[in-house]
Structure 1
Amino acid sequence: MSSEKQMKVEAVTAPVDLGEGPHWSVKEEALYYVDIFNQNVHRYHPISGNHSRMHIEGGPVTLVVPHAKVSKTFIVTVGRDLAVVTWPDPSKDCVITSYKVLSSVDAQCPDNRFNDGKCDRKGRLWAGTMGATDVPDNPNPHLGSLFIMHNDAKVTKVVDKVSISNGLAWNVKNDTFYFVDTCEYKVESFDCEFLRGVLSNRKTVYDYKTSGLHPSFPDGMTVDTNGDLWVACFGEGKVHCIEPSSGKVKKDVDLPTNSITSVCWGGPQLDHLYVTTTKKGLSKEQLLAQPLAGAVFRVTGTGSRGYPATECNVSLPK
């Protein structure tokens, strides 16, 4: 395991409480991400330096994906709802007091909420839920599930008994799906019947306990064009580049905070690794030692690049 000496890590935004769900818009050359419990969607435009915020009233906001066909329109999760919102001018701050619910899930677990999610190459949104806790030693495990919102806006369950649904990624052939349930302390893979969105044959790709990284745990995740996984390691202050075929860490990125939450590729050549972090749960002493906790970091010089993030292609209500 090695760190690349030519890598450069720089904070590009001010800290938020719980940064998550980064999505790079190729069309806008802008990074979207969320601050979950402050119910904010953030937009950072590196070229202009503009940083704007959309506040959504209603509950924790855990992911944001632009709509593929309707401009200034976004699919978000608010609590247990999959919803659509309009941001009149994404370069300016706004407050959203109402939104259209496309679907709600986990009615039997009213304290559940959505967590991580992203779109596959058909524009279907895969998003998972979790119980009412943020720690891996979940006192109420297996309350969540992983869902797909299909292009016709119908929602189906693909994995049940999930504790904290996190990182998602697909290989270039779309026949392997990678997934993180943080409470399992593993990066896992499934055989993916892509056209129908059916998963089978669950396997362990990388085990954080047997690899000696426990009590650190895996969080958000992305894939590069080599097929390697880049996984945010919460608690260790690193992003690990994991080779699925060997189950080994090829290299890692050191961040100036232990609280790493998620990653995505961005920039003009998709070779900038954007990393979200959090200051939630840190003591006063830890915050003094990690003043940039909660910022978004940009990592350059990794020697890798990613694929364009897919926008959501769900049918919208008229």
Structure 2
Amino acid sequence: MFACTKLKQLSAKARSVSINPITDPVQHSEGPFWHTNTQELYFVDTFNGTLCRWSYKDKKTQSYHLENHDSVGVIIPIKDKKDYFLVAADRNVYNLYWPSDDNENEAKLEHLITVDESKPKNQFNDGKADSKGRLWLGTLTRNGDLSVAPEGGSLYKISGFGDSLMAEEMERSLSISNGLDWCPEYKKLYHIDSQTRKIVAYDFDEQSGQIQNKKIIFDMADHPNLEGIPDGMTADGSGNLWIALFGGSAVRIF
């Protein structure tokens, strides 16, 4: 899947794609989630603690500000529950009711779980839900000047319901836990630690949610022509990885 021949073929196709802004500029956009059923794009403005919802139909953006939070990492719609979401902000995970009519007076935020309790400078950065509804979220350690301390973050798997909700540390000593996704067959989990400029793969057990056999599958140090650091990531239906390069002004296909 990562052969140079496929990369060249897909790169030629990608050059024909046009890129156009669909929202007004935001300070630090993260965690895009396209909801096929509602035809809406959800994302966050991280350091403004703001959740955003863009409608393909109306071409308008709604926003919801989280009070008393320094950052927000991701917003993920809950399946079959209209206007309900999981939100990762600072080191906390919440259940959010955010009505589509954008009435903030009716919005309700319910705390579910906190991670990295001994690391007050940590915050969630990126995450996704797997096919079984488990939430995978990574953290990093933010210094006062917004730089990142090395190896202070972790990758967590959050699973269960109600009182049985638990956070399991799946990987530690990460600097900037970032983009992650699975291959179409859910046999591999891909993950980025941006500061290392590497993309790794784990063997993934879909039923248990366990990972093992970590392997580097792409190291940007081997490609000096590529600028920036790997950031967000998604896998397409053919198993190809689309990587956004922060500081590189590019999306690359691996």
Structure 2, unaligned runs of 5 or more: 1-7
Length-normalised TM-score, structure 1: 0.71
Partner of 2:195, secondary structure, is helix
The percent identity for this pair of structures is: 31
Distance 2:129 2:234 in 1: 12
The change in CA–CA distance for 1:119 and 1:163 in structure 2 (over 3 A counts) is same
Counterpart amino acid of residue 108 in structure 1 = S
Counterpart amino acid of residue 226 in structure 1 = S
| Root-mean-square deviation over aligned CA pairs | 2.2
What pairs up with 1:289-300 in 2 under 5 angstroms?
none
Q: Does residue 199 of structure 2 align to residue 187 of structure 1?
A: yes
* Range moving further from structure 2, 120-129 or 192-201: 192-201
1:156 to partner: Cα distance: 1.1
What pairs up with 1:147-162 in 2 under 5 angstroms?
147-152=156-161, 153-162=165-174
* Structure 2 residue aligned with 1:65: 76
* Range moving further from structure 2, 51-60 or 96-105: 96-105
Distance 1:73 1:23 in 2: 14
Distance 2:137 2:206 in 1: 16
1:214 to partner: Cα distance: 6.3
Distance 2:175 2:105 in 1: 31
- Which has the higher relative contact order, 1 or 2, with Cα contacts under 8 A spaced 6 or more apart? 1
Distance 1:21 1:179 in 2: 14
Contact kept? 2:49, 2:67, Cα under 8 Å = yes
The change in CA–CA distance for 1:51 and 1:231 in structure 2 (over 3 A counts) is same
* Structure 2 residue aligned with 1:278: none
Deviations 1:56-107 (A, max 9, x none): 113111100011143211100110001111112x243637896211110001
1:160 to partner: Cα distance: 1.1
Contact kept? 1:167, 1:179, Cα under 8 Å = yes
Contact kept? 2:96, 2:107, Cα under 8 Å = no
Deviations 1:256-306 (A, max 9, x none): xxxxxxxxxxxxxxxxxxxxxxxxxxxxxxxxxxxxxxxxxxxxxxxxxxx
Contact kept? 1:180, 1:186, Cα under 8 Å = yes
The change in CA–CA distance for 1:95 and 1:232 in structure 2 (over 3 A counts) is farther
Q: Does residue 156 of structure 2 align to residue 144 of structure 1?
A: no
Contact kept? 1:208, 1:216, Cα under 8 Å = no
Q: Does residue 252 of structure 2 align to residue 240 of structure 1?
A: yes
Q: Does residue 33 of structure 2 align to residue 23 of structure 1?
A: yes
1:118 to partner: Cα distance: 0.5
Counterpart amino acid of residue 37 in structure 1 = F
Distance 1:212 1:237 in 2: 15
Distance 1:204 1:191 in 2: 12
Partner of 2:155, secondary structure, is strand
Length-normalised TM-score, structure 2: 0.88
Contact kept? 1:137, 1:183, Cα under 8 Å = no
Counterpart amino acid of residue 197 in structure 1 = G
Distance 2:192 2:106 in 1: 31
1:213 to partner: Cα distance: 4.8
